[in-house]
């Protein structure tokens, strides 16, 4: 069949704005290291999530359905979900 569709989501742009705000907050409260480190750690987690939720790709192979949530690279390095669902022989 050969169907392949990639849907791009703008959600990662919102997450990048939140990350910028957290890093700016960490700079503002740098005199309290625990709070600053917490802001930087949360910004790191949100950065990984922002990369993971950029695209949703669905492809229909002859014998299976392939779902990928994450970046659109061939290796699937930042893929949050990279699942191949086999078709039943019914």
For residues 51, 54, 56 and 59, what is the CA-based torsion angle, rounded to 10 degrees? Answer: -80
Q: Which residue has the higher pLDDT, 16 or 70?
A: 16
Q: Which residue has the higher pLDDT, 86 or 70?
A: 86
Domain boundaries, the chain: 3-86
Residue range 39-84, pLDDT digits in tens: 999 999 988 888 777 888 888 888 888 888 877 665 555 677 778 8
What b/e sequence results for 42-64 when a residue is b if at least 16 CB atoms lie within 10 Å of its CB, and e otherwise? bbeebbeebbbbbbbbebeeeee
pTM, whole model, 2 decimals? 0.65
Q: Residue 17: exposed, middle, or buried by beta-carbon count in 10 A (0-12, 13-18, 19+)?
A: exposed
pLDDT for the residue numbered 27:
95
* C-alpha span between 38 and 67 (Å, rounded): 34
């Amino acid at each position: 069949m050969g169907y392949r569709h990639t849907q791009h989501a703008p959600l990662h742009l919102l997450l990048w704005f939140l990350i910028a705000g957290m890093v700016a907050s960490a700079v503002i409260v740098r005199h309290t290291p625990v709070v600053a480190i917490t802001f930087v750690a949360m910004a790191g987690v949100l950065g990984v999530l922002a990369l993971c939720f950029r695209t949703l790709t669905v492809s229909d192979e002859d014998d299976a359905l392939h779902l990928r949530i994450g970046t659109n690279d061939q290796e699937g390095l930042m893929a949050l979900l990279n699942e191949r669902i086999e078709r039943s022989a019914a």
